Structure 1
Amino acid sequence: MGLNDFWFLLIAVLWTGYFFLEGFDFGVGILTRLLARDRTERRVLINIIGPVWDGNEVWLITAAGAMFAAFPVWYATFFSSFYLLLVLALLLLIVRVLAFEYRHKRPEESWQRNWELVLFASSLLLPFLWGMMFANMVRGVPINSQQNFAGSFTDLLNWPALLGGLAFVALCTVHGAVFTALKTVGDIRVRARTFAAKATVVALLLGGALLIWIQAERGTAWTAMALAMAVVGLLGTLAMNAKAREGWAFSFTGVAIASVVAAIFLALAPDLMPSSLNDAWNLTIDNSASGPYTLKVMTWVAVIMMPLVLLYQGWTYWVFRKRIGPQHIPADAH
């Protein structure tokens, strides 16, 4: 395996880590309107992701930075192709941060309700936008012989993109529901499991449809294996959730999300972004990479820094591992 291949693999791992970790806090944000019955329960949901959501976003920054440094042509074409979608995603990321930070700054119910709506909307729309972008990347976008985007925003509005967006939202919602059941006690935990069971069926249908389309579009034996693993993951989620084994259910939702992301990158390889105009104009692992010296330096940095990041995040989750419920929320703190 050359350094080009190694960095393609590492970027796939970084995106997988992002969707695995940020996926459940997107899901919990969605559940603040679909599961929580009052302000106290919404506070419980916000508290279970409060210590970790910002650390989860580090994976997005690292994935984008790795794309820029290892495959600058891919980075440039990706960001120009999905410019409007990425600007919208950036705005949603910003207002989502504000929702976490500003909600508790004033006690008025209307103030807190408005920021909760912002949190819900941003948590819902962000996975939808990411799903649209990655589905379009598999489908192919108009890239010309100069490796530039030669289309318009309307080229990105197609049924595979819509399917990708809906599938990502469904998967994140299941992931968040199972995480809620894992991190809470009492009635909200029971309702989270009930919600997770229903949401898993929806995710199985939408995620399965997306993976079948990927298999038909650019399928290989590897993508077929990823499809099978995603199905196993969601079926395992159903089984473990029914037995109230939330830890195992969460692991299985993680397998499903990782399998979907793996299917996308496996379908792309050895391409990075296929051109819908001419296969000869595809961006590939070889024609879009930085020089060998750059990749070598980056590899040493990654070897040193990645274990430290994993250790730090693991420690954070261990510190905040205990379950909470409405009884842990003070009456005057919403």
Structure 2
Amino acid sequence: MDLAQLWFWIVAFLFVGYFVLDGFDFGVGMSLPFLGKDDISRRQIINTIGPVWDLNETWVIVAGAALFASFPEWYATLFSGFYLPLLVILLALIARGVSFEYRHQRDSLRWKRTFDRMIVAGSALPAFLWGVAFANIVQGVPLDADHEYAGTVLTLLNPYALLGGLTTLLLFFVHGVYFVALKTDGEVRTAARALAKRAGVVTVLVAAGFLLWTVARAAGAEAPLLPAVAGAAGLAALALIGSVLANLRDREGTAFTLGAITIVAAVATLFFALFPNVMPSTLAPGSGLTIDNASSSDYTLTIMSWAALVFLPLILGYQAWTYWVFRKRVTRARIEKAALIAH
């Protein structure tokens, strides 16, 4: 494996980590209208990700930076052709982050409800649009001979991409609801279990359709990693079904873990199907971007490899330590006590 291929898989790893970690953040945010029956329960839900959401979100910054440095041609084509969807994702993430920080600044119910709606929208839009973007990357987009995007926004809203967006939306939603059940108590915990049971069935059906379509596309394109595509898709399906069954038995930890494995395997399916391309073209076979024609020089990739060897373990260690420190449940009694002290 040369350095360009190595960095393709490092970029894949960073995006997998982002979707697993920020994915349940999105799910928690989207669950507010379903589980937050009063202000105390909404605060309880939000506080489950309060200490970690910003750390989870930094994964997309690292992934974007790694993509820019290792595959500048891919980065340039992606961010110019997908400008509007990526801009919407950015604005949604900003709105969500602002809402977490400003929601508690006033006691006004209207004030809090406004920011609650921003949290929901700021979670649902990225959850959907990331799926649309990556599905388009895998199936290919119209690129001209200069590797410039030749389509429109409507080109991106095709059936396969929309199904991909719906799949990530539902996977992140269910994953987040599992996390709420794992991290709360009382009525919120009970309601989260019930919501996951209903949403899990729909998610299995939608995800199965998208994964089967992805495997069929890879088979039609004679993808070199077709066995890995089929294997990862099968693992994602088994893990998702297992998470639904674990939730039925009220085993929140197992359900959440299997939900994470589902997302890992599903995103891996997309990268296996994409390899050795990074952005296929639907206009002409020779106008697409591959690992070889989109990567940086070996010298640049060598420097980046040494930096990743040093800093990536530190990042993973710090992330693990943070989750260990904030491992306890967020109880309703604690929220009520904090509200009394504040008043």
Q: Deviations over 1:306-330 (max 9, x none)?
A: 0110111111101100012221113
Could you say which residue in structure 1 is the equivalent of 2:222? Answer: none
The 5 Å alignment of 1:254-265 reads 254-265=260-271
1:50 counterpart SS class:
coil
Amino acid at match of 2:157: L
How much does 1:282 deviate? 1.5
Rounded to whole Å, the distance in 2 between the matches of 1:233 and 1:58 is 26
Distance apart, 1:213 and its partner CA: 1.2
Aligned-residue offset at 1:107: 1.1
Q: Please state if 1:304 is matched with 2:310.
A: yes
**What residue is the counterpart of 1:252 in the other structure?**
258
1:68 maps to amino acid: F
Show the counterpart of 2:80. Answer: 80
Moved more, 69-78 or 277-286: 277-286
CA distance in 2, matches of 1:256, 1:81: 29
Q: TM-score, normalized by length of structure 2? A: 0.95
Which residue of structure 2 lines up, in the alignment, with residue 204 of structure 1? Answer: 204
- Mapped partners of 2:277, 2:198: distance in 1: 36
Alignment of 1:58-137 (within 5 A): 58-137=58-137
Cα deviation code 1:105-129 (max 9, x no counterpart): 1111100110000001111111101
SS across alignment from 1:272: strand
Give the aligned residue type for 1:184: T
The 2-side partners of 1:275 and 1:155 are apart by 13
**Which one-letter code corresponds to 2:239 in the other structure?**
G
The alignment status of 1:269 with 2:246, answered yes or no, reads: no
Q: Among 302, 317, 320, which residue is 2:323 paired with?
A: 317
Q: 1:246 Cα shift?
A: 1.2
- CA distance in 2 between counterparts of 1:44 and 1:239 reads 26
Show the counterpart of 1:26.
26
Amino acid at match of 2:273: A
State how far apart, in whole Å, the 1-side matches of 2:325 and 2:339 are: 25
Q: Which residue of 1 aligns with 2:245?
A: 239
In the alignment, is the contact (CA less than 8 A) between 1:72 and 1:290 conserved in 2?
yes
- The whole-number CA distance in structure 2 between the counterparts of 1:324 and 1:87 is 34
Report how far residue 218 of structure 1 moved: 1.8
Deviates more, 1:239-248 or 1:253-262: 239-248
How large is the RMSD of aligned CA atoms in angstroms? 1.1
Summarize the alignment of residues 188-227 of structure 1 with structure 2, pairs less than 5 Å apart: 188-219=188-219, 220-227=226-233
State the alpha-carbon separation in 1 of the partners of residues 91 and 140 from structure 2: 25
How far does residue 87 in structure 1 lie from its aligned partner after superposition?
0.8
**How far does residue 187 in structure 1 lie from its aligned partner after superposition?**
2.1
Q: How many angstroms does 1:33 deviate by?
A: 0.9
Q: Quick one: distance in 1 between partners of 2:243 and 2:268?
A: 19
Question: Alpha-carbon deviation of 1:24?
Answer: 0.5
AA aligned opposite 2:4 = N
Of 280, 299, 305, the match for 2:286: 280
SS across alignment from 2:278: strand
In structure 1, what residue type is equivalent to 2:212?
Answer: I
CA distance in 2 between counterparts of 1:157 and 1:185 reads: 40
CA contact (8 A) 1:188 1:325 kept: no
1:144-223 to 2 correspondences below 5 Å: 144-219=144-219, 220-223=226-229
The residue type paired with residue 319 of structure 1 is: V
Partner of 1:326: 332
Structure 1 Cα separation of the partners of residues 159 and 299 of structure 2: 41
Residue in 1 that maps onto 2:16: 16
CA contact (8 A) 1:142 1:149 kept: yes
Whole-Å separation in 1 of the counterparts to 2:283 and 2:34: 42
1:233·1:255 contact (CA, 8 Å) conserved in 2?
yes
Percent identity of the aligned residues? 48
How far 1:238 sits from its partner (Å)?
1.5
- Give the TM-score normalised by structure 1: 0.98
One-letter code aligned to 2:321: W
